[in-house]
Amino acid sequence: MKLTWQSKLVLLAVLPFAAVGVVLQTPWWAAQSASVAVWTVGLSLLLGLVVLKLRAATPAGAATGAVITASLMFSTVTFPYRPWHTALVPVLAVSLLAYIATRLGRAQKERLGTAEKRQGRTASQVAANLGVAALVSGESVQSWLTHTHWFMRATLAPMPLFAVGLAALSEAAADTVSSEVGQVMGGRPRMITTLRAVEPGTDGAISLVGTLAGVVAAGIVALAGTLALRGDFDLFWISCAGGVFGLVFDSLLGATLEQRGWLNNDAVNFLSTASAAAFALGVLAILPHS
């Protein structure tokens, strides 16, 4: 059972929200500061075209990625405005790491039957990996979280709560890199729940090399986002720790609910990025406010 309805549900949860936000914000920003609208829409479309040209995603996947990227860029606008001081930078880091990792040892993965399809990621796969970051970074969610006064950390960045979205992006990179590198260089993996040796590519299987690669990937994305948003060390370590937490949670879901056929891969990825965001929120809630 492929549970394709779960993939459709993930896409339905993410794409309309991101698309409506982009449609509404583009003319608003065009009137307020045309450069924001031009750079955001232009660079998002360019990224989508590059991804499509590289066959890293299907046409629908590339379009979904462009919409989510634009949504994230609009959500992280600060002044003086520079497009490289937005969420574009960590999204690029996630995309580049995923592209490199999926092509590492492709011939070996094809023999194992675990290689990504040559046409690239579908719209639901893109939404499952990047969607949570867009959802939690949206203006309405950010405003609600800020007004609760439970999570406010004024020193994190011009947009303090982006630690939550950045954690989700870090997990997305960590999961992809861990899985792809582990299949090629990790040797015989073991189930996270039983430590029993299994075949590479088994849901819920982990390896030391793959896990370390995932941690490094989370750190790279967290650092890229921290530098882009001019945040401090708190922004970095909270988002990085959230990414690593989500990586472990992903393996646990794979070894349990996915193995039993209750969740498909898109649902697991979406829930894992959500767990990373929730972890970051939890840390923000217990840290002393400033």
Tens digit of each residue's pLDDT (9 = 90 or more) over 89-115 = 999 999 999 999 998 877 776 666 666
Rounded CA separation 178/185 (Å): 10
**How many Cβ atoms from other residues are within 10 Å of residue 26's Cβ?**
17
For the record, the structure tokens of 83 come out as 């497009």
How far is it, in rounded angstroms, from Cα 143 to Cα 162? 12
Contact 183, 200 (CB under 8 A): yes
Residue ranges for the chain with pLDDT beneath 50? 154-158
CB of 215 closer than 8 Å to CB of 174: yes
Phi, psi (degrees; rounded to nearest 5) at 17: -60, -50
Helical axes 59-75 vs 34-53, angle rounded to 10° = 150
8 Å CB contact between 120 and 51: yes
Strand, coil or helix: 104 = coil
DSSP count for the chain of H helices, then E strands: 11, 2
Assess contact for 239 and 280: CB atoms under 8 A.
yes
First CA to last CA distance, the chain: 49
- The whole-number pLDDT of residue 154 equals 45
In order of 93, 177, 202, 204, 249, the CA distances from 265 in angstroms are: 22, 15, 12, 11, 13
Contact 203, 125 (CB under 8 A): no
Beta bridge partners of 57: 121
Which pLDDT belongs to residue 284?
Answer: 86
d(CA 50, CA 258): 32
pLDDT in tens, 16-51: 999 999 999 999 999 999 999 999 999 999 999 999
Of 90, 258, 61, 73, the residue nearest 179 (C-alpha): 258
Residue 23 to residue 181: CA distance in whole angstroms: 38
Whole-angstrom distance, CA of residue 24 vs CA of residue 217: 33
Q: At what angle do helices 233-253 and 208-228 cross, to 10 degrees?
A: 140
Question: In the chain, where are the structural domains located?
Answer: 4-286
